[in-house]
A = this chain, B = another copy of it.
Amino acid sequence: MSQRLRAIDDSEKAARRQSILDAAKTLYLADTSALPSVISIARKAGLAKGTVYLYFKTKEEIFLAMLSEDYQTLMIEVIKLLDAPSSPDELVDDLLTTLIRFLDDNPLFMPLASMASPVLEQNVEIKIVGEFKLMLIDKINLIDELFRKAFPQFPEGQCGSLLLHTNALILGLWQMQNWPEKLKPLQQQYPFNTVIPDFKKDLALSLKNLWKGALNSHT
C-alpha cells in the first residue's frame, strides 16, 4: 500500500535517525512532563513504530542522544570562548553569559539532564551510556587543555573540575526551582521567594563564587 522509503546508505540512515530525533524533540518540547511515547514520535516522523527501533534500541536512547547533542553544542560554545581568551575574570563573565544563552536556546537541556541519571541511563544499553560518558569526558579534557594553554598558571584538571561543579550546580538548582506548572499558583501565593532559588540569579551568584574563588587563588 504505502511506498516504503528505504535508507540505504549511511547518510540516508543518519538523516532518518535525525528525523526521529527532531520529531522527539518537537513532542517533548510541547510537554516536558513526560517523555513522549514511541508511537507519537514515529507518527511525527512519518515512520512506523518498528522503524524507530531500527535506529534506537530503546526510547530512552533517543533522549540520551538528544541530551548528548545538547551537551556537545554547549561544549562547542565553551570552546569558542577559549579561542579568544582575555583574563580569567572576564572568562567567568563570558562563561555565564554563554551558559544562560545556551539554556534559553535549548530549553530541553535541563529537563533531559535531570532525567539522565534516574531515567535515561537506566534504560539504555551500557555500551551507549559509556560512549556518552566518554564523549563528555573527552570534551572536558579538551577544554581543560585549551584553558591551560591560555592560562598556563593553572594546574591540570582545575578547569575540568570547575566544569563538573558548574554542571552539578546547574542540575541541582534547576531541579529545585522546576516546580510543576500546576503548582505555580501556590508558588506565588506563599512567600517562597526567600526559599526557592531564583534560577538565573542564584546560578550567576554561585558560579561567580565558584569560579572566581578557584581562579583567584592562582593569580
Instruction: Write the residues of chain A forming the contact surface with B, with a CB cutoff of 8 angstroms.
Output: 33-34, 111, 114-119, 121-122, 126, 129-130, 133-134, 137, 140-141, 156-157, 160-161, 164-165, 167-173, 175-176, 178-180, 182-183, 186, 190, 192, 194-197, 202, 206, 209-210, 213
Contact = CB atoms under 8 A, between A and B. Distances in A.
B119 A160 contact: no
Given A130-B183, A168-B172, A172-B172, 15 more contacts: A114-B118, A115-B118, A118-B119, A119-B119, A121-B180, A129-B180, A137-B195, A164-B176, A164-B195, A165-B173, A168-B173, A168-B175, A169-B172, A206-B210, A209-B209
Contact of A197 (B116, B168, B195, B197): B168
Nearest to A206: B165
Nearest to A170: B172
Contacts of A202: 161, 164-165
A164 B197 contact: yes
Given A119-B118, A126-B182, A168 B169 contact: yes
Main SS of the interface on chain A? helix
A172 B167 contact: yes
A162 B56 CA distance: 42
Q: How many copies of the polypeptide does the oligomer hold?
A: 4
A158 to B, nearest CB: 10
Nearest to A116: B175
B114 A180 contact: no
Contacts of A190: 134, 137
B118 A157 contact: no
